[in-house]
Structure 1
């Protein structure tokens, strides 16, 4: 038996609580819990009074959860502030990483003739070693 009623708990009910099979009574009433009650035979078997006083939805409560899908026709809040132009920083950082990585390796080979000769001699040497290893 667990009684967490009238506590300052907030957020969603963790789904791991549904794996507690030894519970015969659970009281989460009068907290600041939000979201959907995790689906399990354990949690749905409790009385709705165990969850009252929270902003929860789903069984055993009578209010159903409403899934709020984003409307693709509406503008995002951020797009109004910067003239409709959204910057996806993931792709910016990926492009920047590619450019820095490419020029970090290829730049010295293009600009320094001695390094270029040593690099390709090293690759030839490793190729011969690999060929000999495979042939043995």
Structure 2
């Protein structure tokens, strides 16, 4: 049994504690002990703690890493990260959303108010901006009129 690669004992109505001999199978890559009647603490400092919590789901009597702490462990200060049991994917999405909101706030403050504030405070900048905008509008208008007249001329010459 020491060369076992995968072990699925789910839905077998197993009861009692997880045997420590199971922790001695170092080649075990997949384990499923879910939906049984197991109880007690998952053996500590073993490979069994490296599996996901779903490996032990449906065993209401089990506790210890990666599941919630056992009652006797709650009396001692925890040496692990309290956010360790939080789903990492949800945590990353939450921090990403925080970063997006913060970036949008800074972008609005510096971008929008930087431009509008400068136009409000500096009349010369405001006049220069709108004269450039008028010149660009006039340039586009002339380009469009020339293009339309060329198109009309080429259509008239074909017929």
TM-score normalized by the length of structure 2: 0.40
Structure ranking higher on relative contact order (CA contacts 8 Å, 6+ apart)? 1
Normalized per residue, the structure richer in helix is: 2
**When the two structures are superposed, what TM-score results if normalisation uses the length of structure 1?**
0.47
The higher radius of gyration belongs to: 2
